Structure 1
Amino acid sequence: MTSPAAAPARRVPEAVHRRRWAILGVLMLSLLIVVLDNSILNVAIKTISTPAPTGLGATQSELEWAINAYTLVFAGLLFTAGLLGDRLGRKKVLIGGLVVFGIGSALAAFSGSPAELVGFRAVMGLGAAFVMPATLAVLMNVFERDEQPKAIGVWAGGVGLAIAIGPITGGLLLDHFWWGSVFLVNVPIVVLAVALMLWLVPDSRDPNPGRIDPLGVVLSVTGLVLLVYGIIKGGQLADFADPTVLGTTGAGLAVLVGFVVYEKRSDHPSIDIAYFRNKVFSAAIVAIALVFFALMGVTFFAVFYIQSVRGYSPLQTGLLMLPLAAAQLVFAPRARLLVDRFGNKATTTGGLLLLAATLAAFAGLDGDTPIWMLEVVFFLMGTGMAHVMTPVSVVIMQALPREKAGSASALSNTFRQLGGALGIAVLGSVLSTAYRGDIEDRLAVLPPGVRHAAGESIEATLAVADRLGPRGEGLADAADQAFLHAMHVTSLWGAGVAVLGAVLVAVYLPGRTPKPEGDGEEAELIRAAD
């Protein structure tokens, strides 16, 4: 009589396995505030650009920096934060990151100037950098491999949930409180998340963690800040040939090249460049970056379209953007079903092409377009994003051994944030340049000191038109038309970027998700191209 085959040994302790879904809920709460902050800010940017006491009177370039100060610090420190989590314990790092994020949120709420807001947003980015990779690393350690794709799908759906409730929450707060409330709301969520984490979440760490690379962090952050500064400055001046723009952009690129060279030679790099020899891994990383490049850039101009051109309130704006998030919430956990049937390549390529089509659709929107058409565009955009983010997140996370989950998560989220930062910088600068070029002739009658500032954004022009009283009605109409033209140009740029991403994943992504049998084979994805 033969004995039945022994069941495979469980890698996750039974006590942890029993509460794994509750742990996932706590991780999603932590993730919620990191994503919620940006989605709340999306509906608040117009209010913050309004002169005091309603807002801070921030210019378009200052708004771009308020967003990018967060994303650049976030992206620049993600990999180091992942390594620290691997070394010190993911739970400890996660709780520390939440506390810093909460302090930064409270300080940002009471900022007295755009410059202070930018600085405190950077503090928030510091905390968020330690939260995001730790959530996914803990997830990979409390779920068995066969449940990881499902758990990652739910985790990705949590991003959609945050994007869904963020604009609505922001709109409700702005309807009843001052603009700083969109940051202060993070504080009670942080307190709740920390309490639940102390109670439920187990600690984990890499038995062989990598060494910290402080020089690599400094080089990467410096290079990115210089590059983004040059791009934003070019849009602000509407002159990308300006010596300041060329100098800072060139310096940023040079520092980033130096960063890559240093990382290749370092025995403890922040980012292991060898990972990118695998074309599958690289294509998945690029796909995530391009999705967020398009999303953050489009969200930036969509808010001004809805509020400034169409005249909707912040709360109405949040409700109008709900289909974008609802589609991600619905489809992100189910995207794996399409991957199982059609493979990674077909699912991701289709998602990027759908995203490109919805971005191009913005070029057809005008001041009197039926609002239901915008809702359809948002829903299809969220659907496309969901069918990109989930499959490529699984490819990236399963490309490295379980012990390197923090590194894989950090890489994924680094490029996600970099894509978003560059999307705001590049598409924001395209928007600013196109807008100034179209409105410039109508501003010729203004005094020279006012003319340049008035041409930087639609809000600046409308502020001048409002001060002119009845004489400014023609200028306000011209501002609407100039913005629509700029939005059409910018949306086509975003669509082109999404098409480029579709081509890359169609060429390099595998037809179906690789399913290695053990941690020893997981690394084959990385070594395959060597």
Structure 2
Amino acid sequence: MTTPAVPTAPRIPEQVHRRRWAILGVLMLSLLIVVLDNSILNVAIKTISTPAPTGLGATQSELEWAINAYTLVFAGLLFTAGLLGDRIGRKKVLLGGLAVFGLGSALAAESGSPAQLIAFRALMAVGAAFVMPATLAVLMNVFERDEQPKAIGIWAGGVGLAIAIGPITGGLLLDHFWWGSVFLINVPIVILAFALMLWLVPDSRDPAPGRIDPVGVVLSVVGLVLLVYGIIKGGELADFTDVTVLSTIGAGLAVLAAFVVFEARSDHPSIDVTYFKNKVFSAAMAVITLVFFALMGVTFFSVFYTQSVRGYSPLQSGLLLLPLAAAQLIFAPRARLVVDRIGVRATTTAAMLVLTATLAAFATLDADTPIWLLEVVFFCMGTGMAHVMTPTSVVIMQALPREKAGSASALSNTFRQLGGALGIAVLGSVLSSSYRTGIEDKLGALPAGLRETAGESIEATLGVAAKLGARGKGLVGPADDAFLHAMHITALCGAVVALAGAIVVALFLPAKPKAPQQGAPEEELVRTES
């Protein structure tokens, strides 16, 4: 005689389960402002690089730092943010992060110099670091496992929505207001998200959280800053053999190595390095890093291509990115269906090969390429991204226990931001170095001071040409040619990185999603608040 199975009580309280999709909406709104900020900035960088009063007169390296100050601080603090969320409650961390992000946005809007903008972008990153991992951690704790792939797909589609809204919003604002409005727009969104979160989102935490790891945080931030600073400096000087460049990069690598050793020996590490013994988990992390390395580097130069070479306005440039965003918005929530049919490995390998082809396609663009071809490239790029990010996010989040959702999300976002920061630094340096090499022999007639300034970037060359009036018109054509040559080299470098990602996927990701373990007890991690 067999004993009938006793149904287990649902792990998630019924009142939370009923409003799970509304909670997902609030989480996506919070995610929206974090991604929106960077997608707006991509359109605004040309305006910010123009002299006052239109912009701040930022150099290319200052623009890179305006982006990387955000991504570096973001990446450096995500570990601690994830642990704090697991420890004190993800809702509290989300609310605090939103408040800091809103304050940083308001201050960035009033920046009076590139240095101030870089500093306030770093403050924004502090807030964003507490928002991003908590959104995915809450998601994992309000959806049962069978609905998680669908929810994560919608969450990833929110990134596509932000990419779509950001450039268009930025373009509209720049057409009617000053450049700081692209940051001030974050403030009302923060207020709305804050109010909805207070009302709808439940709190959750790890019942056995780890201690905070201040030494690990300091080592990771210092190592990343030194490494990326050295790479950017090498691009500025067009000489990666310079003693300062080599010593800075070497110091960064040494500090990061010390970070890994310290984490391996610590009894309360920011990163539990034993996670990386799982080859699938490590491969998914590597692919996310490589994808964002290639993507962020390419989108950085695509803005200069559409605005400086092709002559489009910020709003028009934003509209040109719509196919990229639309493809992500359409396909990210549906990528799980493709995975169910052909498996994780086949889906992501094919998607990485599509990304490789689209990056290589940038090497074929010139000053009079039909613009619809660029639109096709952007759409295919967004399609590839959607079919990489959703499967790998599911693999990562389901590789660790549910109570470690904050740590898993923090790791995923850290490697994403690290890849993006290094992509902008490395590919931005390749672009800068290649451009300087291509334009320097065309600047011989300029005074020494102007020659140095004009060689920094296409915007700097065009700015000098505008100041010279009729005498400067002869610089426009060579500037376009030098930039296109530099863009082609940079795009091919990005394509090689994406191809490496395809190889990693094909070798190490599983053919099919991992089946959930039956009968494994889980803690009650979600609680409602009165």
Q: TM-score, normalised by structure 2?
A: 0.97
Cα distance change, pair 79–518 in 1 and its aligned pair in 2 (3 A): farther
Report the AA paired with residue 430 of structure 2: V
How far off is 1:519 after superposition?
8.2
Report the AA paired with residue 436 of structure 1: R
Residue deviations 1:23-64 (CA, integer Å, cap 9, x gap): 000000000000000000000000000000000000000000
Aligned to 2:400: 400
Report the AA paired with residue 192 of structure 2: L
State how far apart, in whole Å, the 2-side matches of 1:248 and 1:521 are: 49
Matched, 1:67 2:67: yes
How far off is 1:445 after superposition?
1.6
Aligned to 1:485: 485
SS at match of 1:339: helix
Q: What pairs up with 1:139-158 in 2 under 5 angstroms?
A: 139-158=139-158
Aligned to 2:330: 330
SS at match of 1:332: helix
State how far apart, in whole Å, the 2-side matches of 1:460 and 1:150 are: 46
Q: For structure 1, which segment, 440-449 or 215-224, has the greater mean C-alpha deviation from structure 2 after superposition? A: 440-449
Residue deviations 1:399-449 (CA, integer Å, cap 9, x gap): 011100000000000000000000100000000000000001011221222
Aligned to 2:244: 244
Contact 1:401 1:519 in 2 (8 A): no
Contact 1:402 1:519 in 2 (8 A): no
State how far apart, in whole Å, the 2-side matches of 1:349 and 1:496 are: 14
Report the AA paired with residue 434 of structure 1: S
Unaligned runs of 5+ in 1: 523-530
Report the AA paired with residue 402 of structure 2: R
Aligned to 1:377: 377
State how far apart, in whole Å, the 1-side matches of 2:470 and 2:507 are: 57
How far off is 1:217 after superposition?
0.4
Aligned to 1:354: 354
Matched, 1:110 2:107: no
The count of aligned residue pairs is 522
Residue deviations 1:55-112 (CA, integer Å, cap 9, x gap): 0000000000000000000000001000000111000000000000000000000000
State how far apart, in whole Å, the 1-side matches of 2:499 and 2:6 are: 49
Contact 1:86 1:204 in 2 (8 A): yes
SS at match of 2:139: helix
How far off is 1:518 after superposition?
4.7
Matched, 1:46 2:62: no
Aligned to 1:525: none
State how far apart, in whole Å, the 1-side matches of 2:2 and 2:291 are: 54
Cα distance change, pair 520–454 in 1 and its aligned pair in 2 (3 A): farther
Aligned to 1:162: 162
How far off is 1:273 after superposition?
1.0
Cα distance change, pair 286–519 in 1 and its aligned pair in 2 (3 A): farther
Aligned to 1:461: 461
How far off is 1:6 after superposition?
4.8
SS at match of 1:127: helix
SS at match of 1:333: helix
State how far apart, in whole Å, the 1-side matches of 2:222 and 2:438 are: 34
Q: For structure 1, which segment, 12-21 or 469-478, has the greater mean C-alpha deviation from structure 2 after superposition? A: 469-478
Report the AA paired with residue 215 of structure 2: L
Report the AA paired with residue 356 of structure 2: A
Matched, 1:301 2:301: yes
Matched, 1:288 2:262: no
Aligned to 2:528: none
How far off is 1:516 after superposition?
2.0
Q: TM-score, normalised by structure 1?
A: 0.97
Matched, 1:256 2:256: yes
Cα distance change, pair 27–518 in 1 and its aligned pair in 2 (3 A): farther
SS at match of 2:333: coil
State how far apart, in whole Å, the 1-side matches of 2:431 and 2:160 are: 26
SS at match of 1:9: coil
State how far apart, in whole Å, the 1-side matches of 2:515 and 2:306 are: 45
How far off is 1:363 after superposition?
0.4
State how far apart, in whole Å, the 1-side matches of 2:349 and 2:391 are: 11
State how far apart, in whole Å, the 1-side matches of 2:430 and 2:226 are: 18
Q: For structure 1, which segment, 91-100 or 267-276, has the greater mean C-alpha deviation from structure 2 after superposition? A: 267-276
Aligned to 1:94: 94
Q: What pairs up with 1:87-236 in 2 under 5 angstroms?
A: 87-236=87-236
Residue deviations 1:240-293 (CA, integer Å, cap 9, x gap): 111111111110011001111111111111111111111110000011111111
Cα distance change, pair 410–519 in 1 and its aligned pair in 2 (3 A): farther
How far off is 1:521 after superposition?
9.4
How far off is 1:9 after superposition?
2.3
State how far apart, in whole Å, the 1-side matches of 2:457 and 2:512 are: 45
State how far apart, in whole Å, the 2-side matches of 1:210 and 1:506 are: 34
RMSD (Å) for aligned C-alpha atoms: 1.3
State how far apart, in whole Å, the 2-side matches of 1:366 and 1:190 are: 40
State how far apart, in whole Å, the 2-side matches of 1:67 and 1:14 are: 42
How far off is 1:517 after superposition?
2.2
SS at match of 1:178: coil
Aligned to 2:526: none
Report the AA paired with residue 282 of structure 1: S
Q: Percent identity, aligned pairs only?
A: 81
Contact 1:401 1:520 in 2 (8 A): no
Aligned to 2:432: 432
State how far apart, in whole Å, the 2-side matches of 1:121 and 1:142 are: 32
